[in-house]
Structure 1
């Protein structure tokens, strides 16, 4: 069974892999508006309802090794006023029945509002979303859009289809919804367009979400690497007798060398001009390191063949010692393997930079998904749905969180001897991620059945919090001119060719020149104008 609480980290993995479109629009004075103003940003009022076993540090997710007993009530009574609404959400799993579903019935009763789900296959959700937005009358009352499924020109569509929530949530207005006010500022920034609040966030952890996991049970007596050079040596030392040191480690390389994220991918150079990621020495150094890793023979042949779909199978089967993936995979692999092999163990490599420098973690967007309320002249409907959203954003350790993520005790789960929910057969049919895709509380590391995992991941994330930095244009959704949408795509293929020895760094130089002439210089001008405008206004556009 895929429970809603298990899906939270899976969505973080998907978000890290997805692209996502950004938007911006012209304000009334003709100037483009890309960020929420200070007065329109919802106040952040953190809640402290349940004490964490491992407190979060500067945005790292707090860790919990047990479920509080008793649970805390975050909402006094059903907040809704009896309305009935449709909601369109994705799902990467078996779509549950909507009629006669005791889970949906119980949650709808608890929120005092009926949410009728229109659930679609997450793998084709982008196509579905594009078709729906092309016919606004078919848009649901409440629509979820993952960051990687935001369609082109969404800055125009959002204003014509969805409700502007700024008057209802800006500043201290959000304090009418305490659980929503508990959502960090960067999550609201990720769900704002054209300087207004349109989306309700599904927050994610602000630290590093992709890195290298290793089979701790297979290398228990080995010293762990602390430099890029030692990492290759570690991979080589664990290659032989039908096993290899690693799958592809590109995500690790980008973290070690501090490579800019691909979107929007700009920084201010030493001369004050904007520099794109593919032009930076960090990008080149990461490719050179990866080339050395591949040439060492320590990468599994299937990874060399770019067969990434079986990377997890190779890792869990012991064919490779290290794999680079979203950290949400960590607990999923433990859950799959420990029942049959109690000694199965995974840990995360220590984070380090190159040449003795500190590592650089670029802060990801603050929300993996945003959900939107359809425009209506009836403000009471918007208020009702915001009350429901406040219920859905109740944090871990509350009765509301338990209901949303596990269903009804005695129906969808029973409490085991350790006090943890054990899913029933009925839950396998009815409880699937649904409400969590409308909005949710701040990210937590709550896997009470895996206390060692919680300690390891929480401690690692907290230790790395000091290295988190905001990239240029953080918190802004910027729509690039459509004619330049695909000029960066060749680099994805070229990266693979270079590290596998099929292309050279000279090919990279040629590709950069082609990119510049194909629109890269125009993009530089586009972003420079935004940067200079923000600087002249005293905004914070730089990291």
Structure 2
């Protein structure tokens, strides 16, 4: 279940981290490509992560996975547990009210008389009083709240893409509590479910040498390239892909405009993944290069241009109407598309009832060129975080950490079941195989709120879709064999604000070059402009961070 129930997380749709929950995210933010040239000096930043500030990792398990994790892949459960364990038998809270601010990509539930809130708060022993804001405007709300520290709630969820300017350099230490004394090293053992969270996730919570955040753990990769295997089979095609050229040939082969069928959607994200384009900065022969300077980036642009020129891309995607890509793909009007790994189970949820033979699968790992190296860049260990307001009241910090420990209880516990599905007989009934089936009340009261404050490591247990868990976890294991850490992996970096827009031309080129509106040579001009506008200074900034490692 990718860490949570399908109806809990189905509304989440933010590119980037939330791509793992269903939205493609290979179009990663270009680290170092986000600013406007300026004569301001580039500040020196301490970004190396000392092991001394990281919590000791102590795995805990309440249900043994049927498919174990391999090199960081997602573990899977092919059967639903017949019973669950109450991981924290005595609620740790002292009855106080804790104000919490979270985003929500869905309908905000009414707190009055909400039986879901009551049930989770009972497990915690405190009342979490939510201040929920539409996720699409959450960044604006955060900026307003953080500008007045006195108005900051006790506990605040902050997606990484909503970090305001100078968050790491000026805001985090002035507004939020340093959790290093409470969680570093063996201190975390007081909170066993927080100790169960992988170290890579905690690394992303370190700012300027101190531990400030609680992580929302991520999967080892966030994206896949899917194809409609059911429709390919109907066409008599056996899918066997060994290079990017094979994908291009397959897209051309299945394209038939007379049948309203095209080979692919906009595949720029897929091309970046196929060619191993580094997320931000890469090392080539010992030199630090931005992703746009690499041959892989150029090759991905060139391949995508060939795809568009072949006529295999759906006309609506050519016209830039990418927001409906999933609908076209699921309707069979296009047969190949990139998406977040969570998009797989969401497609099954949305289509199997009306189309029992519906099936999509990700391509197995393959190199960009036949016989070449297969490259998958690991996603950061966490992309969303929560922070505790700075206070002299240490009991408040300890109470929030105790609540977080309850919220981080993993699969196989009563806490996990309640947080993700609510109360049995109220929000869910046992369906086929014991899988919780939501009642009509569930979507009205139960929305993803607590999970953005603390969450356990990701698992997959959507056994309601026959064969899905086995296929998903098997694919993840194959990918994990090729996963690599990019330079500066696990470092929370606040980029100098003066470079907040110099990368925009590349975002534009990623749309313009494939569609033939600009030649590939325009990339050279854009790189030259980027260097002159501050790119070289930014390179020095990142080189300093790399040297610290």
- Structure 2 residue aligned with 1:367: 382
SS at match of 1:33: coil
Per-residue Cα deviation, 1:145-165 (whole angstroms, up to 9, x for no partner): 011111110021111110000
Q: Is 1:185 equivalent to 2:199 in the alignment?
A: yes
Q: For each residue in 1:123-161, what CA deviation from the matched residue of structure 2 results, as whole angstroms up to 9, or x when unmatched?
A: 111111111111111111100001111111002111111
Alignment of 1:336-347 (within 5 A): 336-347=350-361
Structure 1 residue 455 displacement after superposition:
1.2
SS where residue 165 of structure 2 aligns? coil
Is 2:47 the counterpart of 1:34?
Answer: yes
State yes or no: 1:133 paired with 2:150.
no
| Higher RCO (C-alpha under 8 Å, 6+ residues apart) | 2
Q: Which residue of 1 aligns with 2:7?
A: 3
Q: Residues 56-67 of structure 1 correspond to what in structure 2 (within 5 A)?
A: 56-67=69-80
Taking structure 1 as reference, are residues 2 and 450 closer, same or farther at Cα in structure 2, changes over 3 Å only?
closer
Contact 2:262 2:334 in 1 (8 A): yes
SS class of match (1:245): coil
Aligned to 2:231, the other structure's residue is in SS state coil
Does the C-alpha gap of structure 1 residues 418 and 529 become closer, same or farther in structure 2, counting only changes over 3 Å? closer
Q: Which residue of 2 aligns with 1:464?
A: 479
Task: Report if the CA contact (8 A) 2:93-2:399 is conserved.
Answer: yes
Aligned-residue offset at 1:367: 1.0
Judge which range, 67-76 or 466-475, deviates more: 67-76
Among residues 408, 411, 416, which one is paired with 2:431 in the alignment? Answer: 416
Q: Which residue of 2 aligns with 1:324?
A: 338
Question: Which of 453, 466, 470 is 2:468 aligned to?
Answer: 453
Q: Which whole-Å CA distance do the structure 1 matches of 2:62 and 2:441 have between them?
A: 31
The answer for the alignment partner of 2:288 in structure 1 is: 274
Q: Secondary structure at the match of 1:445?
A: coil
Q: Which runs of 5+ in 1 are unaligned?
A: 23-29
Determine if contact 1:291/1:498 at 8 Å carries over to the other structure.
yes
Structure 2 counterpart SS, 1:144: strand
Question: Counterpart in 2 of 1:394?
Answer: 409
In structure 2, do the counterparts of structure 1 residues 6 and 44 end up closer, same or farther at CA, with 3 Å as the change threshold? farther
Q: Does 1:234 align with 2:250?
A: yes
Distance 1:20 1:111, change over 3 A: farther
- Equivalent residues, number: 522
Aligned mates of 1:20, 1:54 — CA distance in 2: 35
For residues 259 and 129 of structure 1, the distance between their equivalents in structure 2, rounded to whole angstroms, comes to 32
- Report the RMSD for the aligned CA atoms in angstroms: 1.9
Alignment of 1:242-391 (within 5 A): 242-261=260-279, 265-270=280-285, 272-355=286-369, 356-391=371-406
SS of structure 1 residue aligned to 2:53: coil
Please point out which of 61, 72, 87 is paired with 1:74: 87
SS of residue matched to 1:152: coil
Measured at CA, do residues 91 and 20 of structure 1 come closer, stay the same or move farther in structure 2, by a change above 3 Å? farther
Q: Once structures 1 and 2 are overlaid, which stretch shifts more, 13-22 or 399-408?
A: 13-22
- Whole-angstrom distance in 1 between the partners of 2:488 and 2:374: 20
Q: Secondary structure at the match of 1:323?
A: strand
Which residue number in structure 1 is paired with residue 514 of structure 2? 499
Query: Post-superposition shift, 1:529?
Result: 2.2
CA distance in 2, matches of 1:448, 1:510: 51
Give the 3 Å change call, closer, same or farther, for CA 215–277 of structure 1 in structure 2. same
Q: Residue 169 in 1 paired to residue 183 in 2?
A: yes
In 2, Cα distance between equivalents of 1:195 and 1:97: 40
Note closer, same or farther for the CA distance 1:496–1:317 as it changes in structure 2 (3 Å cut): same
Kept after mapping to 1: 8 A contact 2:404/2:454:
yes
Contact 1:146 1:369 in 2 (8 A): yes
Write the deviation string for residues 8-34 of structure 1: whole angstroms up to 9, x where unpaired: 898334694675999xxxxxxx97321
Separation (CA, whole Å) in 2 of partners of 1:459 and 1:2: 20
Q: Contact conserved, 1:111 with 1:388, CA < 8 A, in 2? A: yes
Aligned residue for 2:225, secondary structure, equals: strand
**Match in the other structure for 1:25:** none
| Paired residues of 1:15 and 1:368 also in contact (CA < 8 A) | no
Secondary structure of 2:525's partner?
helix
1:421-456: CA deviations, max 9, x gaps?
Answer: 111122121011110010100011121211322111
Using the size of structure 2 for normalisation, the TM-score is 0.92
The answer on whether the counterparts of 2:200 and 2:381 sit within 8 Å (CA) in structure 1 is yes
3-state DSSP class of the match of 1:219?
helix
